[in-house]
């Protein structure tokens, strides 16, 4: 028995683009992102006995509803199963269900397909098994699912942006105070996403390693979190070079986010783009989360007329870049970027002009 014909319930969640605030979220810092017009949807129905999951390109999974645990083989299912487990922990009466996953959000490209799958699952399950939770509680349950079922110690950026996104607005999130604010994104500015085609493997360890390194850096500087360190304090003596560079990235990223908020409010795309360029340079030198492919996409973009700035977006270590440009020029720039990249590498990148969309619904 499958979930093919009459899906009783469905929910969708968008991917997100991280505009600025790279690896700041789990350091209690600030981020600026936006939900994009690419989604993952989960639809299906309840079932008394089993949990059955279907997703194009992946092997079907079926388990007993009473035997919720991380899968060793079909790991893609862990995002869904992890969310079901976390919701149960919160008292949501999740029983069996059959669900199918669809969507047009590229997977593993740094556009947060993980959070989109987690959130669409959470909203789908909350429709099937109604229970009152605040939106922030839902976001945090999804984050815990990623920690416990997937093994990535991610921050809360992706889930918050995917859930609180608003069309034609950037989302500002303060990960310490949990303030969430939307800021109008000038219609004169366009965003282009370019997927390097090299898949990110978050769970492979680089991400978790950065998390440990930044914690060690905070300890070396004697602060609770890197959020508490000022740019002027970065040159303090007797800090190992690697920890100083990791700290510099995070501390200066926080600073860039605060400045970017002002610039966005003033409609200053040039200033904003400059901060994006600086962010990428810092990823390259200080945080070492870029790749040759991402560097190439960024450097091609930065030289094209009409481009205001470009950087990697999300965790890095592969995935995608985001380019800020003048709206009218966006389609031509996207085309040129794809053309130059494939001429230099022989690989056709996925490049698209993205729109800022509403959050999960």
Rounded Cα gap, residues 222 and 67, in angstroms: 44
Distances in Å between the Cα of 83 and the Cα atoms of 33, 80, 149, 245, 246 are 23, 5, 9, 35, 31
Binding positions for ligand GLA, 222-261, rule CB under 6 A: none
Rounded to the nearest 5 degrees, what angle is found at the Cα of 100, between the Cα atoms of 18 and 65? 105
Q: Report if residue 112 touches ligand GLA, rule: CB under 6 A.
A: yes
Q: Is 295 a catalytic residue?
A: no
Taking the least distance from each CB to ligand GLA, the nearer of 110 and 273 is 110
Check binding of 165 to ligand GLA (CB under 6 A): no
Residue 73 to residues 50, 60, 69, 78, 109, Cα–Cα distance (Å): 18, 11, 12, 10, 22
In angstroms, what is the minimal distance from the CB of 144 to ligand GLA? 13
Give me the least distance between CB of 30 and ligand GLA, in Å please. Answer: 11
Residues between 318 and 357 that touch ligand GLA (CB under 6 A): none
Q: Of the two residues 96 and 318, which places its CB atom closer to ligand GLA in the complex?
A: 318
CA proximity to 316, closest of 293, 346, 347:
293
Is residue 315 near ligand GLA by the rule CB under 6 A? yes
Closer to ligand GLA by CB, 25 or 293: give it: 25
Instruction: Name 358's bridge partners.
Output: none
Instruction: List, as one string, the DSSP characters of 230-275.
Output: -GGGGG-SS--HHHHHHHHHHHHHHHHHHHHHHHHHTT-HHHHHHH
CA pair distance 177, 165, nearest whole angstrom: 18
> Using the rule CB under 6 A, is 293 a contact of ligand GLA?
no
Check residue 155 for interaction with ligand GLA (CB under 6 A): yes
- Minimal distance in Å, beta carbon 7 to ligand GLA? 28
Distance from chain centroid for Cα 211: 16
List binders of ligand GLA among 9-68 (CB under 6 A).
18, 22-23, 25-26
Q: Among 149-157, 243-251, 329-337, 344-352, which window interacts with ligand GLA (CB under 6 A)?
A: 149-157
The site for ligand GLA (CB under 6 A) is made up of: 18, 22-23, 25-26, 112, 154-155, 157-158, 314-315
Q: Which residues are catalytic, by number?
A: 158
């Amino acid at each position: 028995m499958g979930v093919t014909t009459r899906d009783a319930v469905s929910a969708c969640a968008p991917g997100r683009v991280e505009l600025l605030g790279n690896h700041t979220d789990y350091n209690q810092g600030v981020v600026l992102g936006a939900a994009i017009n690419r989604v993952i949807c989960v639809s299906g129905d309840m079932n008394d006995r089993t949990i059955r999951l279907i997703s194009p390109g992946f092997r079907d999974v079926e388990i007993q509803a009473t035997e919720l645990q991380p899968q060793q083989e079909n790991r893609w299912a862990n995002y869904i199963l992890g969310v079901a487990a976390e919701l149960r922990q919160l008292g949501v009466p999740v029983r069996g269900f059959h669900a199918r996953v669809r969507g047009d959000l590229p997977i593993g490209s740094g556009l947060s397909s993980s959070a989109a799958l987690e959130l669409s699952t959470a909203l789908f399950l909350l429709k099937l098994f109604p229970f009152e939770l605040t939106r922030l509680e839902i976001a945090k349950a999804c984050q815990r699912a990623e920690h416990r079922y997937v093994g990535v110690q991610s921050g809360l950026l992706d889930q918050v942006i995917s859930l609180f996104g608003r069309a034609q607005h950037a989302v500002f999130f303060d990960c310490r105070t949990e303030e969430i604010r939307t800021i109008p994104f000038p219609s004169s500015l366009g965003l282009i996403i370019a997927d390097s085609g090299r898949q990110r493997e978050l769970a492979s360890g680089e991400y978790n390693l950065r998390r440990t390194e930044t914690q060690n850096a905070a300890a070396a500087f004697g602060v609770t979190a890197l959020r508490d360190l000022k740019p002027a304090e970065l040159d303090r003596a007797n800090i190992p070079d690697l920890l100083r560079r990791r700290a510099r990235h995070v501390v200066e990223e926080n600073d860039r986010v605060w400045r970017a908020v002002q610039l966005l409010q003033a409609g200053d795309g040039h200033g904003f783009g400059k901060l994006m360029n600086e962010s990428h340079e810092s990823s390259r030198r200080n945080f070492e989360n870029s790749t040759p492919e991402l560097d190439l996409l960024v450097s091609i973009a930065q030289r094209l007329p009409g481009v205001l700035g470009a950087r990697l977006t999300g965790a890095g270590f592969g995935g995608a870049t985001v380019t800020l440009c003048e709206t009218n020029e966006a389609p031509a720039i996207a085309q040129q970027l794809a053309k130059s990249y494939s001429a230099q590498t022989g690989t056709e990148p996925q490049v698209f002009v993205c729109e800022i969309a509403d959050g999960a619904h």
